[in-house]
Amino acid sequence: MPYQKDKQQAFQAAQQGTKEVMDLAQAIDVTSGDYGVQLNHLKSEINEAYGQITNALEVASETQKNQLAKFQQDIQSIVNEVNQH
């Protein structure tokens, strides 16, 4: 049972990390005076989320792997969008 719990916890951490990245990306204001601070915070959260996804992939079920791949795609879309600004 601990293995099952670890899988679920790893997946939930990746899910939460991805949500935080998406929330930050939506809240970022390119016209704001503290845009650089916002951008650095977003980059930090992106790196953390990628780490959480990588950890979760090591123990994930097939269903979870598909969802984790979607999380990676979502984050990559945000990275691409940020890089265009």
Cα–Cα distance measured from residue 67 to residue 33, given in angstroms and rounded to the nearest whole number: 36
Of the pLDDT bands very low, low, confident and very high (cuts 50, 70, 90), residue 1 is very low
The residues spanned by each domain of the chain are 2-84
pLDDT in tens, 61-80: 999 999 999 999 999 999 99
Cα–Cα distance measured from residue 51 to residue 29, given in angstroms and rounded to the nearest whole number: 26
pTM greater than 0.75: yes
Secondary structure element (H or E) that encloses residue 13, with its range: helix 2-27
Of 59, 47, 53, nearest to 72 by C-alpha is: 53
Secondary structure element (H or E) that encloses residue 36, with its range: helix 35-59
Please answer whether residues 53 and 17 qualify as being in contact, where contact means their C-beta atoms are separated by less than 8 angstroms. Answer: yes
